[in-house]
Chain A
Amino acid sequence: MALDRYEWLGRLANRLPEDCLVMSTYIGAVSFEWAHHTEEHHRTAHLGQMGDVIGMAVGLALALPHRRIVCLDGDGSVLMELGQLVAMGEQQPDNLVVFVVDNGVYESIGWSRQGRRPTATAGHVNLAAIAAGCGVPYTVDVTAEDELDAEIELAFSRNVCSFINVRTRPGHSHVRPRRTDGIEDKYRFVRYVERLEGIWITGVPPQDIALMKDRKG
């Protein structure tokens, strides 16, 4: 029995640790519904695209090892670049939890009377098993709501690099598309991280401004 995407993303949003950061997809139903549930909180980077979401989350997790990083991806995106799972399994950042909306179809491209175009997970492919084979320490293939609740609880109560694949029913996005582009999304997230971490990511760092003043005499 697969889960409803909007409903389970809402469950996850309600249990999200206050001080975590999220790497999410950029466009598509996952991003739109997640943004709706979280009121576009700037802790989420809506920056990942087909084949790079988990890779970016791994980089973020390694850059901020003290910070919980949550990743939201879709099955089509994971399938496009399985090498991301190799990197995740090799690095095993214990602050990273990946949730995959696995609905077995390419939802965002639309569909005809013949139905939706299936991804490989509608056939024989099991992403959780691939992640396990890549060395990700904890992997699970979730198919029921109570199971998902338990996995969310577990994921946020310990520090283990985790890959949680959630079998999800195909279906329209319940909400309207987000309005922002990648540039605005980036600045929102970067400024939030700067404030949260007390670091400088873009622009001239304070110490360099002081140096420039010194040079001017």
Chain B
Amino acid sequence: MAMTDAALDAAHEGLRAAGIDFVSGLPDGWQRPLHERVELDPDIRYVPVCNEGVGFSICAGAWLGGKKPALIMENSGLRVASEYIARISLGTGVPVTLLCSYRGDVGETEHWGIPHGIVAEPLLDALRIKYLIVRHVEDLAKSIVRAKRISEAQLHPAAVLVSGDCVWED
């Protein structure tokens, strides 16, 4: 199962509207189509990685060089990236917009997604990362824009957790 076509369009539109010009990430089942879309966007430099911590470090370096970065990943990747988010962003104040699949949210069908849902929000709180949970497609694009906006204002990451109607058509 992957994000719906409408959510794919909205996420891509949101990234572009936010001025995101640099994306790193590790594809997951839900947001795989977005990775494929972004990779083809000539206005966005796409850097695939093999773990989300490296992706966050790369995004941070890109920001220091003037890019507006986003990291696209499953929420399980938050746990991997948390070490580098803490070191880099809590320590020095570097903004990266985080776009995460919210596995384990209400409606989850897979048992393995449950731990991801249990950990994600407390972990974001622990890292002092403000976040929006998007369960309706029509909220997705503007949520990405707003997350990027506050990340730049506070010089710290902000996150969008994608779930609900963005992935399920039931």
- Please report A residues at the B interface, Cβ cutoff 8 Å: 23, 26, 45, 47, 49-52, 54-64, 67, 81, 83-84, 86-87, 90-91, 181-183, 185-186, 189-190, 193-194, 197, 199-202
Contact = CB atoms under 8 A, between A and B. Distances in A.
Interface in B79-103: 83-84, 87-88, 91-94
A186 B54 contact: no
A57 B48 CA distance: 16
B53 A83 contact: yes
Given A49-B87, A83-B51, A186 B62 contact: no
Contacts, number: 126
A216 B87 CA distance: 40
Interface in B120-140: none
Contacts of A52: 53, 56-57, 60, 84, 87-88
Interface stretch (B3-11, B64-72, B160-168): B64-72
B58 A58 contact: yes
B58 A186 contact: no
Interface centre among A90, A186, A189, A199 (most CB of B within 10 A): A186
B60 A59 contact: yes
Contact of B88 (A49, A61, A194): A49
Contact of A57 (B50, B53, B61, B83): B61
B32 interface: no
B155 interface: yes
B83 A189 contact: no
A197 B66 contact: yes
B66 to A, nearest CB: 4
B49 A47 contact: no
Contacts of B62: 59-60, 62-63
Contacts of A60: 61-62, 64-65
19 contacts: A52-B53, A55-B54, A55-B84, A57-B61, A58-B57, A58-B61, A59-B58, A59-B62, A60-B62, A60-B64, A64-B66, A81-B51, A83-B53, A91-B47, A182-B93, A185-B92, A194-B66, A200-B66, A201-B63
